[in-house]
């Protein structure tokens, strides 16, 4: 049924709302799509809800296509599960907390890892029931410090969140890739100009987390990109090249990385025990890197061809990665760490610690070059001392943040790309989606285990994957509007056609009615401006403000047997014979 402006629950505004910052957001309010109920909390009016539902449909279709099963959790949640994972505390002031009449603590869910984990634990008990992907399109609550730009950063917002459950690490990897592909289809269909960026340094091995950023000057995330190679990372994740260029002769003298699988490999635990014995972790210096860069194994290869593996990390909470590394440990004598005067041994290290951590740099007198030529996913670094001396340790040091990444402030436009392919450009983006290999953290905290094929209980490995559904509506508005109004892509527009009947002539309205009926019969959604006493000027302005992609004006031209068909985006207009109008528009 056409949405008739004479009765539609809509009131357009000529003035910008005082509390709106961004142009797209101002227009969403002025065009009557949304209204603010409280800071960061919005009411969806009929037109806005139409757009929101279309985004949901795109997301739902693509989630269903990868075998996701939709369900819906409550927003009002008990404290216990979030206590078990420590997120009741970790979330800090961002969590909306409340108490029921008995004084029992509850919260409004900011994201639902805990609830999904518990649901699977409740219902499934065997590896045969996995893999499994569940999702919901549901309301989330976060008491954001600066709710800004309306729907882009709501305190109440709608997210599609999905979670994958697997027994094997390879299953998680596959679920992650399926989501990645589904997200590409989702953001293509939504019409975004977007980039997929590494969201963490990858120091854990593999691309454990990536974000989909809509390129936009109003975005709150900053990312770097290298045009030559396509490398892209959130500045929070990138390891910045810091060192002066490494002399070519030194590079030439550095042997290639060498990776071999062997059943005789010592386990990560053995390595750590060895090195811990020599370097109690209270001795800050040698362990700075170990405490920050987890699960990194370094294989030093000396100019005389001898090799020496070193563990520079601890098996942290990401068991997946520790296991992956274990499988790659090379046969060698695992030499103990020794105290060295590092500053006296400038060293070149060549290798790779997973995507996102490629880089050159220097610290504590040691220069290192991480080279992308080594196979993805390996975690080896080979090294050679410039002076031909053995170097026993690798200290990356002080520039790293707690999760092994370098701080954003150190990245500049024009810095060399970590993969050595060119230079970096900086741009801003809106985080539209985030995919994340959680591993076994939540399953361990909440004891989600299933029986494997040998009847042994094994902990499930999980991924979590989010799309900002309400944020997408705002981001599309920001990306597509012009000076006079919203400008929706057809896939998301509240209607396909906006029919305007002008003047007072009854025949005009009758014709317009007929056209609306025909357009609807042809399967199109129609907004019909049938208001009897509103001037053509106001109707045209409103049509432009609302942003439906095709505007049809039925009015004066009718005397000559024509209507005007206007493309909202290009502004192109043409007179079309009445009888051909529907064919032209469909």
Q: Give me the residues that bind Mg ion (CB under 5 A), please.
A: 431, 434
Per-residue contact string for residues 189-218; x = within reach of ligand ATP by CB under 6 A: ------------------------------
Parallel, antiparallel, or unpaired: how do β-strands 562-567 and 573-577 relate? antiparallel
- CB of 369: closest distance to ligand ATP in angstroms? 31
Q: Which two tokens stand for residue 520?
A: 């609807």
Whether the Cβ atoms of residue 432 and residue 192 lie closer than 8 Å to each other = yes
416-445 binders of ligand ATP (CB under 6 A)? 431-434
Whether the Cβ atoms of residue 111 and residue 438 lie closer than 8 Å to each other = no
Residue 135's closest CA among 83, 182, 69, 91? 69
Which of ligand ATP, Mg ion, none interacts with 324 (beta carbon under 5 to 8 A by kind)? none
Which of Mg ion, ligand ATP, none interacts with 478 (beta carbon under 5 to 8 A by kind)? none
**How many other CB atoms are found less than 10 A from the CB of residue 559?**
10
Specify the DSSP class assigned to residue 79: S
Q: Look at the alpha carbons of 408, 412, 415, 421 in this order and tell me if their dihedral is positive or negative.
A: positive
- CB of 243: closest distance to ligand ATP in angstroms? 30
Which of ligand ATP, Mg ion, none interacts with 153 (beta carbon under 5 to 8 A by kind)? ligand ATP
Whether the Cβ atoms of residue 345 and residue 391 lie closer than 8 Å to each other = yes
- CB of 434: closest distance to Mg ion in angstroms? 4
- CB of 436: closest distance to ligand ATP in angstroms? 7
Q: Which is nearer to ligand ATP, 236 or 529 (CB)?
A: 236
Q: Which is nearer to ligand ATP, 159 or 497 (CB)?
A: 159
- CB of 158: closest distance to ligand ATP in angstroms? 8
Quickly count helices (H) and strands (E) in the chain: 15, 28
Displacement of CA 498 from its chain's centroid (Å)? 34
Whether the Cβ atoms of residue 424 and residue 413 lie closer than 8 Å to each other = yes
Q: Which is nearer to ligand ATP, 59 or 204 (CB)?
A: 59
Parallel, antiparallel, or unpaired: how do β-strands 194-198 and 497-501 relate? unpaired
288-347 binders of ligand ATP (CB under 6 A)? none
Q: Which is nearer to Mg ion, 223 or 231 (CB)?
A: 223
Which of ligand ATP, Mg ion, none interacts with 144 (beta carbon under 5 to 8 A by kind)? ligand ATP
Q: Which is nearer to ligand ATP, 58 or 296 (CB)?
A: 58
Residue 445's closest CA among 421, 432, 462? 462
Q: Which is nearer to Mg ion, 138 or 265 (CB)?
A: 138
Q: Which is nearer to ligand ATP, 144 or 505 (CB)?
A: 144
- C-alpha 461/C-alpha 168 separation (Å) is 7
Angle subtended by helix axes 319-326 and 169-189, to nearest 10: 120
Residue 354 gets the label, from left (phi > 0), alpha (psi -120 to 50) or beta, of left
Residue 503's closest CA among 476, 479, 533? 533
- CB of 114: closest distance to ligand ATP in angstroms? 14
Per-residue contact string for residues 463-492; x = within reach of ligand ATP by CB under 6 A: ---x-x-xx---------------------
- CB of 142: closest distance to Mg ion in angstroms? 7
SS3 category, 450: strand
Distances (CA, A) of 234 to 145, 160, 264, 504: 21, 22, 38, 57
Proportion of the chain in helix, strand, coil states, percent, rounded to 5:
30, 25, 40
- CB of 572: closest distance to ligand ATP in angstroms? 34
- CB of 47: closest distance to ligand ATP in angstroms? 19
Whether the Cβ atoms of residue 563 and residue 578 lie closer than 8 Å to each other = yes
Which of ligand ATP, Mg ion, none interacts with 468 (beta carbon under 5 to 8 A by kind)? ligand ATP
- C-alpha 401/C-alpha 239 separation (Å) is 11
- Main-chain dihedrals φ then ψ at residue 579, nearest 5 degrees: -70, -15
Whether the Cβ atoms of residue 45 and residue 109 lie closer than 8 Å to each other = no
Q: How many residues bind ligand ATP (CB under 6 A)?
A: 15
Q: Which is nearer to ligand ATP, 111 or 425 (CB)?
A: 111
- C-alpha 542/C-alpha 3 separation (Å) is 14
Q: Which is nearer to Mg ion, 200 or 371 (CB)?
A: 200
Q: Which of 111, 229, 288, 423 binds ligand ATP (CB under 6 A)?
A: 111
Q: Does residue 460 bind ligand ATP (CB under 6 A)?
A: no
215 beta partners: 429
- CB of 210: closest distance to Mg ion in angstroms? 10
In the bound state, the residue with its beta carbon closest to Mg ion is: 434
Q: Which is nearer to ligand ATP, 236 or 542 (CB)?
A: 236
- CB of 152: closest distance to ligand ATP in angstroms? 6
Q: Which is nearer to ligand ATP, 142 or 481 (CB)?
A: 142
129-168 binders of ligand ATP (CB under 6 A)? 142, 144, 153-154, 157, 159
**Residues in the site for ligand ATP, rule: CB under 6 A?**
111, 142, 144, 153-154, 157, 159, 431-434, 466, 468, 470-471
């Amino acid at each position: 049924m056409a949405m008739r402006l004479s009765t539609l629950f809509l009131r357009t505004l000529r003035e910008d709302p005082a509390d709106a910052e961004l142009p797209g957001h101002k227009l969403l309010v002025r065009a009557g799509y949304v209204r603010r109920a409280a800071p960061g909390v919005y009411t969806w009016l009929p037109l806005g809800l139409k757009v929101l539902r279309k985004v949901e449909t795109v997301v739902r279709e693509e989630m269903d296509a990868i075998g996701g099963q939709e369900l819906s959790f409550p927003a009002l949640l008990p404290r216990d599960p979030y206590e078990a994972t420590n997120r009741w505390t970790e979330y800090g002031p961002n969590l909306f907390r409340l108490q029921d009449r008995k004084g029992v603590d509850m919260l409004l869910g900011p994201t639902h890892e805990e609830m999904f984990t518990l649901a699977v634990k409740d219902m499934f008990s065997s590896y045969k029931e996995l893999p499994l992907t569940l999702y919901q399109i549901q309301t989330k609550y976060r008491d954001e410090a600066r709710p800004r730009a309306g729907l882009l950063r709501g305190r109440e917002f709608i997210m599609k969140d999905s979670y994958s459950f697997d027994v094997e690490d390879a299953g998680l990897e596959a679920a992650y890739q399926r989501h990645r592909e589904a997200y590409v289809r989702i953001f293509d269909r939504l019409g975004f100009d977007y980039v997929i960026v590494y969201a963490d340094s990858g120091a854990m091995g593999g691309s454990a987390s990536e974000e989909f950023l809509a390129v936009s000057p109003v975005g709150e995330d900053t990312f770097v990109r290298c045009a030559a190679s396509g490398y892209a990372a959130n500045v929070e994740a990138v390891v910045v090249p810091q060192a002066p260029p490494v002399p070519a002769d030194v590079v030439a003298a550095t042997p290639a990385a060498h990776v071999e699988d062997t059943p005789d490999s010592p386990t990560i635990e053995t390595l750590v025990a060895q090195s811990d014995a020599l370097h109690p972790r209270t001795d800050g210096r040698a362990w700075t890197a170990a405490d920050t860069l987890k699960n990194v194994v370094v294989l030093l290869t000396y100019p005389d061809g001898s090799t020496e593996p070193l563990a520079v990390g601890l098996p942290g909470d990401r068991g997946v990665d520790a296991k992956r590394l274990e499988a790659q440990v090379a046969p060698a004598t695992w030499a103990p760490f020794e105290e060295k005067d590092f500053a006296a041994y400038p060293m070149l290290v060549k290798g790779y610690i997973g995507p996102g951590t490629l880089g050159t740099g220097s610290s504590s007198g040691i220069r290192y070059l991480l080279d992308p030529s080594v196979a993805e996913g390996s975690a080896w670094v080979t090294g050679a001392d410039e002076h031909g001396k053995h170097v026993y340790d690798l200290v990356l040091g002080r520039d790293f943040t707690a999760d092994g990444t370098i701080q954003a402030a150190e990245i500049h436009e024009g810095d060399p790309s970590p993969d050595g392919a060119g230079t970096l450009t900086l741009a801003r983006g809106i985080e539209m989606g985030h995919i994340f290999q959680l591993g076994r953290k939540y399953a361990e905290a909440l004891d989600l285990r299933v029986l494997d094929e040998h009847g042994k209980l094994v902990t499930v490995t999980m991924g979590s994957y989010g799309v900002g559904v309400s944020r997408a509506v705002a981001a599309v508005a920001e990306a597509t509007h012009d000076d006079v109004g919203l400008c929706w892509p057809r896939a998301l527009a509240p209607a396909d056609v906006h029919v305007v009947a002008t003047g007072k002539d009854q025949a005009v309205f009758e014709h317009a009615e007929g056209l609306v009926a025909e357009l609807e019969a042809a399967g199109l959604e129609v907004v019909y401006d049938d208001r009897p006493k509103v001037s053509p000027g106001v109707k045209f302005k409103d049509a432009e403000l609302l942003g439906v992609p095709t505007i049809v004006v039925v009015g004066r031209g009718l005397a000559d047997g024509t209507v005007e068909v206007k493309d909202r985006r290009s502004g192109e207009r043409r007179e079309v014979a009445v009888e051909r109008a529907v064919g032209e528009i469909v």
